[in-house]
Structure 1
Amino acid sequence: MKFYFLIACCLFCKSLLAGESVTLKYNLTGSGNYFPYYTGDSDLPGIFPEIVQQILNTANIQGEHVVLPAKRTVKSLITGKIDFDIISTAWLSKQERDNPLFVYSEPLFQMSEYLVSLPKHAKKWQSLAAINGNNVGTVMGYYYYDDDEFSRMDFPSEKELILALQRQRLEVVIISELSALFWSRELGVQVALGAAHSDGFLRIRILHKYRHLLPQINQAIKQLHQEGTISSIEQKYIDIINKIPTL
């Protein structure tokens, strides 16, 4: 009798645990043309999808990617349509960084964004203060901590920013270093890096209600750093960019 009672208790506890398990929904698409961070290619999905999948697998957490445009990501986090994304706190204003709705993981890897222009205009954009009061190319829906200092000229993607420079629709854009290198080479447009606009570590930004999962996530990140997995994923995409012929 005791044996059957123990089995019943085990089954009941198992059902409770199953009921408490969650599948975290997330969005990593950025602009959609966000190479090398997100590509939409199942064979080479990008740095973000590959790293997140490794983290979820290592942390034994179920995940589901939800494709959203960048401008809807924050609203989708607030409404609970998604549970986390990847972001650098260097992109955020202090008010946004301190939003109690979110908690942040340990660092994943570093990303730098620059003022980028055609080479003939490069000298003008070596100081970050140079953008104050000027039109600056930005990606629709992206965070820019100081966008009250300049006039945003929103474009759909990083690719479109480089094309806008080529067509001389504006003189300067803000774009990550690796995205600028990729689209410059892919489109055959020579560009020059100016002043750094932001420099910081990317982290998982997750809803506060899932803060109890943060130790698992952080332990997985620590393990993947120790194994060299995160750096090897990043390097794989850097190597792809470096193999594209330069002008």
Structure 2
Amino acid sequence: MFCKSLLAGESVTLKYNLTGSGNYFPYYTGDSDLPGIFPEIVQQILNTANIQGEHVVLPAKRTVKSLITGKIDFDIISTAWLSKQERDNPLFVYSEPLFQMSEYLVSLPKHAKKWQSLAAINGNNVGTVMGYYYYDDDEFSRMDFPSEKELILALQRQRLEVVIISELSALFWSRELGVQVALGAAHSDGFLRIRILHKYRHLLPQINQAIKQLHQEGTISSIEQKYIDIINKIPTL
């Protein structure tokens, strides 16, 4: 498997991981027909940039280690999730923005009033996904669960009062599982980008050009909207 990098004049196959928790709807689903927002956008970027890619399935807790050891070459991340030290890591460079993602404090409606301020989580137990970044997780006690689905189930079972989860994932699993939830304070809000090893920085111009072209064509927004429409079709409680 190879392709010719238009700008670098070399053959390269970039390995990447997008799986998140594995139950990361709508961003990654594992379904070949509807793989998720991340796989669809990345495939469009690679095709447009004329770069060959290979998806490597990894649990979230192994992604960073795999980047550092070179088992994979890039992933998708929001710098809003990262501490300043992590954002400034010289091992990585970042692409132009793909699209925006917001994460919230999410609880059952009866507890919602308590979690309207981000400062409310300081010193408290907070539901998180194993292996995920949380820029302020030194301020609260992480209670790690395997996936976004398990976070919503933990709320339903009253194992804890509040979790951190992306807005779209919360909406999907709330409706899919029949669990009413409420959004509290925003925990992070930022643009997702491709985070790629510094040694491939010479590929950024063609990656960024592909992203620009796909934005101009409306491809990225249409992929995102397709999955939002799927969520909106699920009956509400």
Q: TM-score normalized by structure 1?
A: 0.93
Q: CA deviation at 1:16?
A: 13
Greater radius of gyration (CA): 1
Runs of at least 5 residues in structure 1 that lack an aligned partner in the other structure: 1-10
Contact 2:20 2:59 in 1 (8 A): yes
Q: CA deviation at 1:87?
A: 0.0
Q: TM-score normalized by structure 2?
A: 0.97
166 and 20 in structure 1: CA distance in 2 versus 1, 3 angstrom threshold: same
- Please give the alpha-carbon distance, in whole angstroms, between the structure 1 residues aligned to 2:89 and 2:81: 14
12 and 50 in structure 1: CA distance in 2 versus 1, 3 angstrom threshold: closer
From 68, 71, 85, give the equivalent of 2:61.
71
15 and 43 in structure 1: CA distance in 2 versus 1, 3 angstrom threshold: closer
Q: CA deviation at 1:19?
A: 9.2
Contact 2:103 2:189 in 1 (8 A): yes
Contact 2:77 2:195 in 1 (8 A): yes
The DSSP-based 3-state class of the residue aligned with 1:14 is coil
15 and 121 in structure 1: CA distance in 2 versus 1, 3 angstrom threshold: closer
- Please give the alpha-carbon distance, in whole angstroms, between the structure 2 residues aligned to 1:12 and 1:40: 24
| Corresponding residue number in structure 1 for 2:198 | 208
Q: CA deviation at 1:91?
A: 0.1
Runs of at least 5 residues in structure 2 that lack an aligned partner in the other structure: none
Q: For residues 201-225 of structure 1, give each alpha carbon's deviation from its aligned partner in whole angstroms, at most 9, with x where no partner exists.
A: 0000000000000000000000000
Q: For residues 21-52 of structure 1, give each alpha carbon's deviation from its aligned partner in whole angstroms, at most 9, with x where no partner exists.
A: 11000000000000000000000000000000
Contact 2:5 2:50 in 1 (8 A): no
57 and 150 in structure 1: CA distance in 2 versus 1, 3 angstrom threshold: same
Q: CA deviation at 1:126?
A: 0.0
* Structure 1 segments of 4+ aligned residues over 2 angstroms from their partners: 11-20
Q: For residues 100-129 of structure 1, give each alpha carbon's deviation from its aligned partner in whole angstroms, at most 9, with x where no partner exists.
A: 000000000000000000000000000000
Q: CA deviation at 1:231?
A: 0.1
227 and 137 in structure 1: CA distance in 2 versus 1, 3 angstrom threshold: same
112 and 101 in structure 1: CA distance in 2 versus 1, 3 angstrom threshold: same
The DSSP-based 3-state class of the residue aligned with 1:152 is strand
Q: For residues 60-84 of structure 1, give each alpha carbon's deviation from its aligned partner in whole angstroms, at most 9, with x where no partner exists.
A: 0000000000000000000000000
Contact 2:2 2:11 in 1 (8 A): no
- Please give the alpha-carbon distance, in whole angstroms, between the structure 2 residues aligned to 1:116 and 1:153: 14
| Corresponding residue number in structure 2 for 1:179 | 169
Q: CA deviation at 1:14?
A: 9.7
- Please give the alpha-carbon distance, in whole angstroms, between the structure 2 residues aligned to 1:13 and 1:31: 30
Q: CA deviation at 1:13?
A: 15
The DSSP-based 3-state class of the residue aligned with 1:19 is coil
Q: CA deviation at 1:18?
A: 11
| Corresponding residue number in structure 2 for 1:238 | 228
- Please give the alpha-carbon distance, in whole angstroms, between the structure 2 residues aligned to 1:76 and 1:12: 21
Contact 2:82 2:135 in 1 (8 A): yes
- Please give the alpha-carbon distance, in whole angstroms, between the structure 1 residues aligned to 2:184 and 2:65: 32
Greater helix share, structure number:
1
99 and 15 in structure 1: CA distance in 2 versus 1, 3 angstrom threshold: closer
The DSSP-based 3-state class of the residue aligned with 1:203 is strand
Q: For residues 96-155 of structure 1, give each alpha carbon's deviation from its aligned partner in whole angstroms, at most 9, with x where no partner exists.
A: 000000000000000000000000000000000000000000000000000000000000
Q: CA deviation at 1:20?
A: 3.0
21 and 122 in structure 1: CA distance in 2 versus 1, 3 angstrom threshold: same
